[in-house]
Amino acid sequence: MSQPHKFKFGITGCCNNCLKAEENDLGIKGGVKPSWDKKVCTFCGLCQIVCPGKAITVNKADKTLNFSMEKCIYCGKCLKVCPTSAWSGEHGFIVSFGGLYGNRITIGKRLLPLIFSTDVLYKVIDVTLAFFEKNAKKGERFANTLDRVGWQLLEKELKEVL
């Protein structure tokens, strides 16, 4: 497969994101989709304190915990801090598209939910590279291709492999 221009991958194991995955044409970060077990929760509130997405609200008096999946950034900190293992999680890949670092800096967009299977991840990579080869002008970076032809075209092709 010959590509119209360079295409950078940024792959990092967790949401600490030392590598700045989203500033690459295709970024991959490890993430965790958490789930909560009310039966073993003591409502200590630690998970609320560490949650960077403000996705967790604990009411100690009422013994309630609210969790917003929309706000969760899949960092897994709640799993690590919970003293009773009330949080568990499914590990997956957070993928971003069209990032750039250089003269123009853009943060890649997340067009897909968390991916749990490596086979699906490989298909997503194949579709993305084929899209770039098919649509990019010679010497054009991926973000500029997507701005020109429309991000929704890539999104549509990606969703077909999920």
Among 135, 129, 133, residue whose Cα is nearest residue 150? 135
Asked if 74 touches ligand SF4 (CB under 6 A), the answer is yes
Helix or strand holding residue 130 (H, E) = helix 118-135
Which residues of 25-118 form beta strands (DSSP E)?
26-36, 56-59, 64-67, 87-97
Asked if 93 touches ligand SF4 (CB under 6 A), the answer is no
Q: Between 84 and 152, whose beta carbon lies closer to ligand SF4?
A: 84
Structure tokens at 36: 């909560």
Q: Spell 5-25 as b/e; 16+ CB within 10 A means b.
A: eebeebebeebebebebbbbb
Asked if 51 touches ligand SF4 (CB under 6 A), the answer is yes
Binding-site size for ligand SF4 (CB under 6 A) equals 30
Q: Between 58 and 158, whose beta carbon lies closer to ligand SF4?
A: 58
Distances (CA, A) of 99 to 42, 89, 157: 41, 28, 18
Q: Between 27 and 98, whose beta carbon lies closer to ligand SF4?
A: 27
Among 21, 26, 28, 72, binds ligand SF4 (CB under 6 A): 72
Region binding ligand SF4 by CB under 6 A among candidate stretches 3-11, 68-76, 107-115, 118-126: 68-76
Asked if 44 touches ligand SF4 (CB under 6 A), the answer is yes
Asked if 94 touches ligand SF4 (CB under 6 A), the answer is no
Which residues of 37-148 form beta strands (DSSP E)?
56-59, 64-67, 87-97
- Interacting residue ranges for ligand SF4, rule: CB under 6 A: 32, 34, 36, 41-47, 50-53, 55-56, 58, 65, 72-78, 81-82, 84, 86-87
